[in-house]
Structure 1
């Protein structure tokens, strides 16, 4: 979906519902990525000896990615909420 065009042309309830659904799916996708990286982080923490000196770098990297996906998920959830509100007030 071309989000720029979709957002610019959204006027009807259906348009905003479609955008909300898109943002909700993006938030769900981010949550899946968070879970994946939490599992990796746990692996790096419990079996750090397998990764030698790089174990702490891998852990830090996973933590940063988790934070990033949390921000992405929160932003997409907020966008979905706003488009749901716009859908309610649309014709």
Structure 2
């Protein structure tokens, strides 16, 4: 039974993870067959099977590498092609102090009007915060009593009240602008009758 080999000898000879156990056994048989010519004639077909298996493994690995490189290249080109369009859409949608006039002049789609409305809503929220700040300041001035004026002249508290009222009016008008742009967006989205 010198020509038979168990899997432990094959793993010891070729390492546990280098190749599948069946290939390791076939290689070990091939080595034994070379040592014993009579056995080599019997197991000669196994060496061809090992060679064919190794060739197919190399070919499969090469194909997979090529496919991976191709897919990575396609994805890179696709992302590079869509990046400018994505940036243009993102930049167009954000309305700021600097581009408000341009956004109003070019507003035609519902998204354009909604972006302008969002800008005005944020402005109204910021303006309300300023009004609240001045109301708190007015209260602080009144409590401190340090900044009172002679009769007939407005005190600091009164001036802060006036500023708060101004910010409240600005916030209300800004909210109206936002509401109007929401309405324009709805009208732009509605199908036109002809």
- The two structures have a TM-score, normalised by structure 2, of 0.44
Q: Is the alpha carbon distance of 1:52 and 1:66 closer, same or farther for their aligned partners in structure 2, counting shifts above 3 Å?
A: closer
Q: CA deviation at 1:52?
A: 4.7
Which residue of the partner structure matches residue 26 of structure 1? 123
* CA distance, structure 1, for counterparts of residue 119 and residue 143 of structure 2: 36
Per residue, is there more helix in 1 or in 2? 1
Structure scoring higher RCO (CA < 8 A, sep ≥ 6) equals 1
Which residue of the partner structure matches residue 147 of structure 2? 51
* CA distance, structure 1, for counterparts of residue 138 and residue 158 of structure 2: 9
Give unmatched runs, 5+ long, in structure 2: 1-95, 190-194
Give unmatched runs, 5+ long, in structure 1: none
CA offsets, 1:37-61, max 9 Å, x none? Answer: 111011011112x23538x431122
Q: Secondary structure at the match of 2:142?
A: helix
Q: Greater Rg, structure 1 or structure 2?
A: 2
Q: CA deviation at 1:63?
A: 1.4
* CA distance, structure 1, for counterparts of residue 187 and residue 104 of structure 2: 16
Kindly report the root-mean-square deviation, in angstroms, between the aligned alpha carbons of the 2 structures.
1.7
Which residue of the partner structure matches residue 178 of structure 2? 80
Is the 2:104–2:116 contact (alpha carbons within 8 Å) kept by the matching residues of 1?
A: yes
- The two structures have a TM-score, normalised by structure 1, of 0.89
CA offsets, 1:49-84, max 9 Å, x none? Answer: x23538x43112201211110111011000000000
Segments of 4+ moved more than 2 angstroms? 50-54
